[in-house]
Each structure stands twice: as C-alpha cells, then as structure tokens.
C-alpha cells in the first residue's frame, strides 16, 4: 500500500479494543470506517469470511489460521507463470506440513482452474486434509501421495516446500520427530529436472539448505518479490484505483 502511495493503519489484538472484549465483527466495522480497504489476518479458520459479512469496505484475507491464504495462492500461480511460462501441463509437488499449511490449501484449490497434476509429500499424520483432496478430485485433477522426496523429483516441474509448523504441535518432542525429514539439498536436487523451480511461502526453517540458494531453480526469494507486485495489483483493483494514471 505504501508503494502505491497510500498509508497503513495497523492494529492487532494487543493494541486494540479486542483486549477489552470487543468482537471481531465490531472491530472490523470500526476499522472499515477509517479506511478504504481492510486486510485481515486471523488465527481462526473462517474468521475473515465471518468478518466480511459486517464490513462495508473491501476486505482481503491475509490468512486465517490453518484455513486459507488466497493472496499467497495468487502470487504462487503468478510465480509459476513467470518462471516457467505456463501453468497448464505441469506436475506440482507440495511438501511438508500439508495438514496445517494454509498456503497449500489455497494453492491446491486455485490450481484446479488449470490442467495440472498434484503430488503430496508429507510426514505421517500431516497429509493434505480430506476436504481439500475431495475438492481437487471433484474438479478432475489427478493427485498422488508419496512419502519420500526422492520418488517425486524426476517428474516434478514445481517443488513447493513448506515448513513443519512448531506452533501446531502439542509438544517440542512431537515437533522434533517430524522436522528435518524432508529437506532440499544440492545433492538431492541432482535427481531433479534441470528446468523446474523450487518455491516456498517463507519463512523457512531447515527444509531448504542455504547451499541451494545459488541454484537457478531456487525461486523462493523471487517469489517473495512477485508477491509484493501481486498484492499491489490486488489492492489497486479492490480500491478501484489505477496506479498508472
């Protein structure tokens, strides 16, 4: 918003009337009266959709817990098009905590608009939720589930890595059992196609070795920059403003 020439009013649960017991609906109604667009990130799945029913201004979902992250999905598809030239005909492999990863939930849904194949690799118990796989299947998109990265690299055009989310585990011990099981390294990527990309919504923990950062296929930092432009375009669109005029 600042790059577009606008300004930002920031508020969160620790600095707003929410700590006094104000409801989400009331908080959003008040913030909408001060602004042209509301961007809401919330820990509860479905919270943004609920707030949208009480918001007089455009509202953008910036992530709702383990639910969805639609603007990330938009920038992810933009990244694939920029890096490879097309989305249709690709095999896209999603890796990591697919159960709690809202980025992959939204991306899988958006990719059903294209002709793709989806593959999932995750630690045991962290697979893609059933409601997502059922939605993808209902659109006729082929899906496969694997346990090892080595088994998918040869056919993968887009390797979408995600972190194992510490905050979703009950204990540090449970978290330690799953972290570090699926890691991209230069050695591993000798098995992959020469024309493919590795993406990550960031932040990464240890699922991509820093030694891989210099590989031309490492697209995650370019992906982050694309995200800024995509979100600028989205803000312009919902605000009804053409920044080029």
Model confidence over 130-147: pLDDT tens digits? 999 999 999 999 999 999
50 and 92 inside one domain: no
The torsion angle over the Cα atoms of residues 231, 233, 239 and 240, rounded to 10 degrees, is -170
Number of domains within the chain: 2
**181 compared with 128, residue with greater pLDDT:** 128
Phi, psi of 53 (to 5 degrees): -70, -10
56 and 144 inside one domain: no
Structural contact between residues 106 and 141, judged by C-beta atoms closer than 8 angstroms:
no
| pLDDT for the residue 17 | 63
Specify the DSSP class assigned to residue 241.
-
125: CATH: 3.40.50.1370
Looking at the chain, the whole-number percentage of residues with pLDDT higher than 70 is 91
The mean pLDDT of 82-109, rounded to a whole number, is: 96
54 located within any domain: yes
206 located within any domain: yes
237 located within any domain: no
Q: Which pLDDT band holds residue 175 (cuts at 50, 70, 90)?
A: low
The torsion angle over the Cα atoms of residues 153, 155, 159 and 161, rounded to 10 degrees, is -50
14 and 101 inside one domain: no
202 located within any domain: yes
Picking from 73, 87, 202, 66, the residue whose alpha carbon sits closest to that of residue 131 is: 66
Domain assignment of residue 162, given as a range: 70-224
134 and 21 inside one domain: no
CA atoms within 13 A on the CB side of 110: 20
151 and 30 inside one domain: no
189 located within any domain: yes
- Sequence-ordered list of residues with C-beta below 8 angstroms from that of 85, at least 6 positions apart, any chain: none
Specify the DSSP class assigned to residue 173.
H
**Residue 176 pLDDT greater than 90, yes or no:** no
234 located within any domain: no
Phi, psi of 61 (to 5 degrees): -80, 110
Q: Please give the structure tokens belonging to residue 244.
A: 């080029």
| pLDDT for the residue 170 | 65
């Amino acid at each position: 918003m600042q790059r577009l020439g606008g300004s930002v009013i920031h508020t969160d649960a620790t600095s707003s009337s929410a700590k006094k017991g104000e409801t989400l609906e009331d908080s959003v109604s008040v913030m909408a009266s001060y602004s042209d667009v509301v961007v809401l990130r919330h820990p509860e799945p479905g919270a943004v959709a609920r707030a949208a029913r009480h918001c007089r201004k455009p509202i953008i979902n910036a992530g709702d817990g383990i639910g969805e992250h639609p603007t990330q999905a938009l920038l992810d598809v933009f990244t694939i098009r920029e890096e490879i030239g097309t989305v249709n005909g690709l095999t896209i492999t999603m890796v990591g905590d697919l159960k709690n990863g809202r980025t992959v939930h939204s991306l899988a849904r958006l990719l059903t608009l294209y002709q793709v194949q989806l593959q999932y690799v995750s630690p045991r118990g962290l697979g893609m939720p059933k409601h997502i796989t059922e939605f993808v299947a209902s659109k006729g998109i082929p899906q496969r589930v694997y346990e090892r990265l080595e088994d998918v690299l040869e056919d993968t055009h887009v390797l979408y890595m995600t972190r194992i989310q510490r905050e979703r585990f009950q204990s540090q011990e449970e978290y330690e059992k799953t972290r570090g099981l699926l890691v991209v390294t230069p050695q591993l990527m000798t098995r992959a196609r020469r024309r493919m990309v590795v993406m990550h919504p960031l932040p990464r923990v240890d699922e991509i070795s820093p030694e891989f950062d210099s590989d031309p296929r490492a697209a995650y930092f370019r992906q982050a920059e694309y995200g800024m432009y995509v979100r600028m375009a989205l803000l312009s669109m919902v605000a009804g403003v053409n920044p080029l005029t």
